Structures are given as C-alpha cells and as structure tokens.
Structure 1
C-alpha cells in the first residue's frame, strides 16, 4: 500500500480498487504518536481477519478527523451511519428502510473498504449481530453478543470471572462463545448461532442469561443498566442483540487515548491473572503468528452470490477422535496370553487315600523363593501355617495386570491357597471352557492382598480383588479334579450368586500344569447352594423387565448389572498400560437386551425403561447389513441433547418421571432421547450368541461396531487411544480431555484396553476423570445477599491455611439451596468476630461479617489463579470430619 511518510496526496491500489490517500503523517493518537499511515498499515495487515467479521453487515463508523486527542482533552468524534457522499463508487452498500427515512450503509466486504475507512479516520467499526443476504434483505442473527462492562470498583479481572461463568451457562446450552477484550474496559462474548432464531428470540435468551447470572452471583453480576446498581459489579449487557444495536467489530481499532483494539482472545488467556487489553502492535504480532480465535465465526464465502454465514460446527456426537480404538489382538499375542502370569510351579504332593494331599514340610517354599520380602508389598510369611479347623474354606479371585492380564483363581486347601492363573477369567456361562494354568501355592494372607507389585519383581503389576468369599468343596482329587461351589460378594465378579465350578487337569492342552476350568451345568447340586441362590436372587436381583417371560433373553435369566467406574485422575493411569478414552455422558445408564425384535432397556437399579423411551426401539432394527440383533446385550447411556447437540440432564428429567403412554409419546416428539452405546456384552454370531464379557475391551468394542449400525437415535461415539505419548508429547488422554472440555461434557472415562467386563463391580480398570476439581476450605466470613437472598447469606468468604496463616481463596456464592443457607447462617452467627482472620481485598471485604476460622467446607472449582483464588467455586457441603488445621491446598 502507500508509504508511511509524506503528507502529499497520492493514489494507491488496494484489492484491485484505486483510492486516493492524504495526510499520512497526521497523528491520530497523540499519546502514542500513531499516524494515519500506521492506521492504514494496520488495517491492511489485519484485513484478512477483520473483513470476515464485518462482511455483509451494515457498518456504522466513529470518525476522529482531527485525531482522538488525549486522556485529558479528547478529540471531537463524529458518529456516522449513512455512507458519505464523497465515498468512492466502488464501495458496496445496502439500505435499511425505516418508516420515515432510509439509511444507506457501507459493507466492509473487502480490504479496500477498510483502507477507505482509514483514510477518512473512521477508526471504530461498529456492526450489528446480523448480516444482509445477497438480495439486500436482513437475515436472522448469526451470533449473540454479551457485553461485560465493569462498574466503578470492578475491572477486567471481574469481567474475566463473569466471562467464565457465562461460558459455563453457554456450554450447558451447547453454545460456543469466543471472548474479545473490548479495547476499552470490558469483555465481549461472541456466541455463534445457526441463523434459525429471530432477533427477538436471541434478545430474550440473552436477557434471560443475564438475569440467571445475576440471580446466581448477586455480589458480582448485574443485568440492569442503572449506574447506581453497578458499583463493584459487572453489567452483563444483553441489549446489543437488538436488531438496531451495534457492537464494535472484532479487530477494530478503538478511539481511546492509545490505539487499543477489540481483540479476540483464547479462554486460556481469559483465565490468566495477567490478562490485559491489547493495542494494535500486540494484535499485529498475534495475527501474523496465525492466531485468530474467532475465525470460525467469520464469513467465508467466495462470492456475493454464495451468501454470508459462519462455518458450521460439528454435532457433539460427530466429533472425530484423535486415534482409533487400537489394533485388534494378533494370533501371536493371543497365544502368548496362555502362558499365564506367574508360571507353573511345584504341586501339593502325593495324594492320600481320602484324596487329600499330605502337607509337605514347607508348602510355601517355592512362593518365598520367587519373592524378596524387602521389595514386594505381597505377604511373605516365614513359615507355612497349619490348616484352619472349624471354619469354612475361602476363595479369592484376583484380577492381575502383569505382563498380560489374567485372573488368579485361588481356593483354600490344606492351609494354603492353591492357585491357578486364568488368562480369560472364570467362565460365567456353562458352554464356556477356560484354560487355567496351575501356579505355586500362595499363603492365606494373600486372600486380602490388593495393590501394586513393584516393577522388576516377580508378577509385577496391579492386583485387585475381583471376588472373594467361601467355598463348599465337593471333590478334591489331587492333581486331577476339583469341584467346588463358590459363594462370593453381592457386588463381586461372580454376580452375587453361588457358582459351581469344575477344574480338570488337562496335560494334553500343552503341559501338566494346564487345567480346564468350567462352570457346571448343574448349578443346584447341594441344598446349601440352592438356598443361597434363592436368597441371593431375592436380595440382589433386579426385577425382570420383560412381562410374561421367565427369561430376559434366551441366554440370561436376569439383565446383568452394569460395570462401574472408579473416580480418579490422569495420575491414576498406569503409564505402562494401554488405555482407551471415552466421553462421559450426562444421562441415564442402560443395559439393553434385544429379544424378539424389541429392545428391553434396564436401568442401573433394575428398573424397566422400555416403555419410557419408545424411540429407542429403533435399535432392534439396526443390525449390521440387516442382521437380526436377537440375543444382543449392549451397554450405553441415554441422553437428551440440547439445542447444540450436547447432553442436557435437565431436558432428560422431563422424560424420566412420565408414566402415561400419551404423555410419553408427546414428550418423545418434543424432547427425543439418544442412546450412546459404548460396550457389548453379547452379540449375535453365526446363528448363536457370542459372549463377550470375558473378552478385552478392544475386542468388545470391535464387536459392537461390527454388529450395530448408527441410527437416528442410536450412536456409537468415537473413543480416543492410547495413553502413551506420541512424537509431539501428546496422548489420547490429552486429546480426550480437550474434546470433553470443548464439548462441555462431564469428563472422560479411561478404560484399560485389555480389561474384561465386570458386571455390577466398581473397578479401577475403568476410571472416570471429571472436568472439575475439589478443594477443602476454611470459612472466614460471609456477605449479605441481595434480591431473593436479601437478609440471608449471599456468599461465603473462604481461605486455605498456608505457611502458618490463612490465605484468602475467594467467594463462594453458588451451589446452595435454601436449606444450605439456613444451616450456614445458624453455624456462622454463633462464631462471629469483629476482625477478618485473613487479608481480604477491599471489594470483597465490603459489608462482610467475619467468623472464627474453624468450620471447614468443600467446593468444586475450575482452577486456582496465579493470585491463589479459586475460579468459579461451587459449594459442595460442610466437612465436619475435618479441622481447619487439616486443610491444605490439594493441587
């Protein structure tokens, strides 16, 4: 473009248009010395990001023909709607007709228009939230704007806090917002819309959002324009969504004392304690580095006939994963599984006349020889104990993630736990046989062992108890055959029902240590077994969902209880193991069986939900390539999707309590639900049914994808894997957490790639990682509420002990119901004091009531700022089990 010096008039060419420019040395920003040439240069260099935001919108300009002046003496500003008569003919324009007049506006559809704005010192570019169609008619808004404007006593930090609160609400509505520091005092939030809502509808939603934020955060947010109400608070100005209102365009200069810019920012920047407004040099550096956080909301048409519109976003259920579900297991790896985890060892000795083996001098000698008691956490007794007398023998089945996942099947006999390694786990169906490799005897203390066996030690890996209980031994032929009934825990892997197993030595299967483990067809051999089975079924079995049929499916008498995940964090994922990561859906868990062309849906507590969600009957007809899904048993989550295709538990609740058929049918039309399938317990296979619960997660996942097709209401969301870092230092868990945050989901579920399905068991093979953090806090005071909380507690002031004192951690104003507030008021009024127990900023200390710092509570929060404040904390409850001295930072 033009040179940056000289005041003579000259003609330049910009984007194919000729423009006369003059007075390039004229200083438009005296305090910074920024000239018209600088302004023109800025506009030329940001045109590729500014034009997409302004294109097809009527532009209102603010002109400072003599410069912006100084802080003490501002320059004269001219507000301009109509296009100047002196404007070049090539500037695109559009008219808006009013009752008594017509305004003609320029359209900033190309860089040449921006250059002309710079020439006439139109420094601020203001546009509405809607665009013109190519035929000149206004479209519906393609965005919603919330203007966060700090009142006296508040600043950019408070605006950032409110911006994050807004983001929470918007995420819950499946709306994506981009923050823009305004270049003045506050922050604008630009929320992408699909153009299906009218200006009035968008204004109503924005107003309701502002009022909701004010109700939840009365000490911080105000939605009323009155200045008298805004002191120390942030106004959430929703009014700029009126069709006649405009907002300064992203990347526009501002007419402030210095050349500040309305700068799009990342949410990471908004969270930073160093957040500040940016000037044009800052923005130029960002743009030239390729950073454009608001690009997705820009117009990306290539011609006038194409028409404007933002890029369309993907639905939540269509988000791609960063990697596949992992490779299927090779024949070689499957073969190596059969080696077992601990290897074969010496046995129990020569059998006696009664079939029992005489105890050798030291039955645990081999066990001790393989272990160093100073290095392993396993029990290593110095000598073998004598057999127990007068007590029922016990069993334990342990899940052992060693070199290969296997299950250690241990039965008490002759004072020790006689042990087998079962690579695929105990069979739970009578037609399944399992290889069991006999290993060395283990001490009785091993029946309660759980934990990590150190790397480098024998059997290194994680051990957890899959089930345990008592046994009734029917037959024990040493080295040949064992038959026993195992009665486990109600929540154990055996399902809380006595199971009758047979172990048969099978040296022909590859070695003398190889045995065959099978579930006996006759499960009612002993009277104790039958009684225990009846009692277990009465106490723990869910109701059969299917009316008039003794079986839920032909293969299962009862629907299996779903496997459950254990709460944890990224640090709980063993780095040497392969993990796969799924999104955590905010809905209702469902086990689904397909019987005679119908889907039988059972809730976690055994409730029949089949009639409640009639649209999910679609699943029965979604067999791959038209196959019949009869006999399939699948696991998933029922969700209701909000306007932006994100789970909305509030919407789902409108469906959960209905009972009348007409109400259910009407609700299914208005609020349809979706089933997110993520696991398969059984699938049809060559005219029969393939049982999958003992198969690794990756094989179950492949079977699910192969057996079931996507439908209108049935989905198979992608998974992320693996946990190991790639060349860029990222891993599947990084991608999964990032995706869950972007989609506004609860978090993720990490699943061991080799883990089996354990019905009704809460296992550390599935770890749920939520997108939230918890912190214990000491309450040091409270502030009186406003509005509906007038006369009650508005927020609690909290601190965390640090270096012998208390460090202020912020205010908590959400998460309370009326009962919580009553309880808090009673507790705190009894321990009031006159002085604050910690240093509290003046804005938060205003009108505060102080208390003796001895009560402990717990909050949920997003992060800790650099200044030690909890960002958007939400009250979780009191912790009477903790003293103030016990509290410390958990990060």
Structure 2
C-alpha cells in the first residue's frame, strides 16, 4: 500500500485555469519512491511533446488513486466532478454515449495527473474543430513479445516491418512501449477523405500476415496466446477506430515509472535495449528534441466536412477554415484559400503576432479587424470602424476565421460572391497580447502607419446562443501613446500600396562582389577533446542562412547589402534588415560583417523550416506578404572590414572586440557573446537552449574568406547533411494511383572529389504538401539519371533532374563510412527527414558532415 500523504493542498494557476493539487507527497511508485508531485512535474516538462501526439484525440484513462500497488480504474466517460473547462467530445456507442476528454493543453494534462491518471490511451484519428471525426492520420503496429521473446526480437521484427513500410512510402518511427514491446508509427500522407480506420486495419493486417508467412519462427499475427511462445505478435488491430494505443510520452502504471518513449533506429540495434524511465525521457527530450516530431510535421491534415469542395486546394487545410472555405469558390474569387503546413503556423512571427484592418466596400461599408491567433486570423466586422474615444464603444460582429494569407489581401471580390466588393488594407502591423480568453481579448496594436493603441474586445452575446457573435470593441483609457488618426471611416490619403522609400527600393547596388564567408570544419571527437578554452572561444551555431553583410553610404544614404555564401544577393528578400544601417556610425563605413539570417520561433530559437517561407522571394509584393507571416533577425559574429580597412589578418579576439564597438545592436540585429566555460559547458548550454550546436573558434586565428578552415570547428547536436537533389519519385509511385504533380520522395547524392555524384539515398518525410508540389516545379527535368548506382527499386518510377539544387536533411546515421565509400557497401543515409532547400549553397559547397 502507498503510504499516507501529509502535504497540504496547493492551488495553482495553469494557463489561466485554477486547480487544487492534493497529496503531492503520496507515493505512486513504491519501487522507486516516485510521488504524485514528481508525476505532475514530469507531465509539466513533457507536455509540449506529449500534447503534440495526443491532442484532439478522445482519450481513455487508467487511474491508480492509491498508486500502482493499488486498484486500477479504467475510465472513458467524464464524470460530474470534471471541470467545465476540460475539452471534451461525445462518442455514441451501441448502448451509450460517452464524453471523452481531449488532452489538448497543459491545464487538462495537469488535471489528469491530479486525478491519478498515469496512462493515457488514444486512437489513430483526431476530432476536427467542428467535432467531426477525421480519417486516421497514422498507422500503428504493436510488437508484443510472447513468452521466451523480448525487446531484441521485437527490434528484429521492427526492422523487417520497416523495410516493407518504406516500400509503401511510409516511414515508421519506433517507440518502446514502456511495458514489454515496441510500437511502430507511420504518418498517413495525402488528403484522401475516403481513407477509413477499417482500410488502414486491413493494410496492417496484411502486413502482419506477410511477416508471419516470411518469418514463421519469429512472427505471429494471431492473437491466440497458445501460438505466441518465443515469437512476437504483430498486433494490427489497434488501427481499428474503436481501439486505442498508449500515447507517446505517457507514463505506464507498472512497478517503475517507465514511459512510452520514442527511440532511434540505431538504438534498436543495441543488444542492451531496454525500456526507459521518466527521468531518462526528460533528459533525452532536452538533448535530442522530440524524435517523433516528423510523425506530425510530415503528415497532412485530413479535410472536413466537404471533401468534394476542399479537394481542389493544393495544401493541407486547417479544420478552423472549413466555414471560410464553404463560403468561397476558389475558381471565382481571388481571395487566398490558405491552409496549414503540419508544423509551426505559417503566420506565427518570431516576436509578435500580426493584425490587419481592411476597409471593405461591400453591400455596406465596414472594416474587418483580424488578429493572428492559433494559426488563423480571428476576425470581426466593425460597422463603424475602430473607436478612438474610450467613451464610445463600437459594435464588433465575429465572423469566420480567415487564413493568414488574407492579411495581405487587397482586391475586388466579384459580384455574386460572398462579401462582394473592394477590399483595401487600412492598417496593419503587430500586436502584444495581454489577455485572450473566452469572451474577452485585450491587445496593444503597433503600426508604423497609425501608431500604437490598446483595444479590448468583449463578447456581449451568450455563448451558444443566437447572438453569440455579438461583441463590443473598446479603446481603453490607458494608452501606450498618441497616434492612430484618422480612424476607419475618415478620409485617408495613404493606401496600402504606399510604402516607405527604404521598403520600396530593391536594395543597394555595389560594383565589387562581396567576399565569400569563412567556413567551419566538422571536427572528430578526438580533436574536440583537446580544445583548451584558453585557446578557443565557443559560439552558438545558428540555424539559418549565412550572409556577408555590407554597410556603406551612397547618394540615398546609408545602405545594407546582403550576400549569401554562394554569391546570391539577398537584399531584396530581407528588407527589414536594412535597419542595421541605423546601428553603425558614418566613420566606420564602408563596413563588411559576417553573420546569419534566422527566423525565430515563439521561444526565440532559430527554426530553419520557418526561414524557408522567406527564401527565394524577390518580387516586393511576395516579400511583403511573406513578412506578414515570418519575420527574420540578423545575428552578427565577425567583422572583415571597417572604414574600408581589412581586419582579415587580425586575431579573432580583436575582430570580436571591434564588432562590439562598431555595431549598436537592437532588434532585429543581434551581436551575441561567446558562450562561457569549456566546450562541454558550451554544448550543455546550447542543448538547454535547444540550439543547433556550437562553433569553436581559435582565438588567435585570422579570417580566411571562402575557405574551410580547422581554425573554426563545428559541433551539431543533431546530424544534418547537405545533399544534391538528382530526382524525385511521385507520391504513391507504383501503386497505380500515383500523382505526377506531387513528389513522394526525393533522390539524393553527394559530390566526390572529382565532381562526380554518388547516390546516398532518398528522403520522403518532413515535407509539407506545398513542398511536395513545389519540388515538381522547381527541379529541371532531364532525360537520364545524372549518376550511376541508384538501386533498381528506387530508380523505378523516378523522374530525373539536373543536379543543381542543394537541400538539407537530418538523419539518424550512415549505413557505412561516407568518407570511405565502397561499391560493395555504398554509404546510405538512414532515416532522412527533410529540413528544406539550401538556396544559399551550390553543389560545389556540399561536403560530407562526418
């Protein structure tokens, strides 16, 4: 029996929800002494990953109120004591209707921990926002060892299943279940609304039967216990819509607090493979991130509720936009149709979300007020515009959510269509959110055009009633400053096409080419172990586009030019970085700096996939539209020339001191300091900050433009590799249902010393749907393979491309040493996951990252 608890109750606020936590020192796991308080702490720390894989799915729960040595309660239905704010959905069964909890937020997860829920089980499908059950979005195989078998046998079966799944263009991800076996998950791609749980179950069943037929001494697909001795059951039945599987990162109610933990394929090769405890899982999550993230990032959301209409869209839609889509025909209106990318929201900015107010000359003149929130523009119609007097509230009528792209929309909606009339942008910018809860929003808007102001939106209609969309918009008495005239409805001599001169200009012209940046070398462990902090400085490795930055003065004033490492002019693509010109002095011009262009997530960390949304744009309208979704920052870490004088021969320490003198940084420009301590401490700091890695720089070294030097050594936490794309295979290639306009996977190569290419594998996961379609338009087709050595199964159905584009993938390992390629055992990338195009590099820049 668990020992009695004596700790007093604690009332806490979690995401605005008040919960009373009791008996925090009650022991839930007697074998390890793990308490309820420690369980709650684990749930809080693991929440970002656990919620990613459990959200929007009806959860069944296993509760141990007296700890794992006491009685277990299996619970589906929510009872009367459940807080009203816990998200839920009803499912009608044959004899009853149950309300299931949706584990969508940290507050709900904390409430589950308070109610002694240790195990959370979810199906392979999600609810849409409207409550419509969506088609399954993942396939799962439960590898369960029978008597006399163990994890080693499960790992062997997992490898066999992986080969088959990859042949179906499904990349599986292993999870040790926290109990006895291994789960394999694979994302189901595409937006086939006819896909059903029964159909997925049938595929999984046939796969299990095939494994059993091919390996009868190892695999069994029948549930009968009498058949399972010494074998591994491939349980396909958990793909049934009524069945559930332990959620990834959930605790287990066993003797010790083990966890359903994602693993790498390399780990499955370890003979000592075992289940992981919760402390190990937290350490791994901190170090490696969520190994299952591609399971979410790579698959496409299913459509609801009208597949015939929505199938016309060439992106994976968010279920929050179904009302918007239902009111619009993409063949009849120029309005953007929008969608989601399976990862971070396309419009999430690095520093603040966006707002837009659009003047809408429809049947009646009104203004549309839109705030970026949860990946969409939450929208209200303002018949009288934005209020300017705190004593005068204006009516606001909430309308359907709009896609983020709508924030840049101006144009004419044709007669006869919903909202027909002229739309122009009256104001736009970013906002600081003070409060967003049901029925109340308070935000401070920031706009170059109309200044800053603090506004509140309050719902006046009852939730769920006929007037639930009725709100008031109020200008608060306390304001951040003056500005904001004229209000909507008053004359204005500026239209949305007006831009400051600095934003209109394409950027400075310069006659001399920019120098190429100095490059770092990937260092082997033995060399890293010898690095003395007295001789070496350790900097953050930034995950972005490298750029040489020139600041100089001409007839138009101080200007900035940005050049990629491959010589591409990036100035027009990132116009907001012209702000650097105001952070340097005239006496130091012309100035040449070295840095990295990054797109920061909400936590201030560089995210390369976000940066991809700003890449390769040159048309001012396209650039401005992309800026509404993703802003960029510039991180500076070296200086090459000051006042035209070269510093390339000066030691690193002198150059860094000079960089700190000549630049007075402020957002979006940063000059970060080197990391404290030795290499181990620097790596640990970067891990805790969840950054890409560390660059070690020899303190006495000079700057060697365009050369890869051992005076700069790079160390990454995750393995990534630049590759040359040599072809692609259509989605579902060979299935008879392939789509010639959508890439299912890309074929990859590396250049050898003589310039020839050698095949290193393919990548088929980590893509957004838009990526898969853009590949076909980007790659230049050629008639024959530009290299030899592509295995016949992967060359089948291939479309070959000119080897001129570089991409980046993350991966688990090489099959053999890539530095010593052998025709008998050619090196291949294991578990490659797409990260994005490297338009800043050419094939000649690609080297093996050992």
TM-score by length of 1: 0.39
Bigger Cα Rg: 1
TM-score by length of 2: 0.40
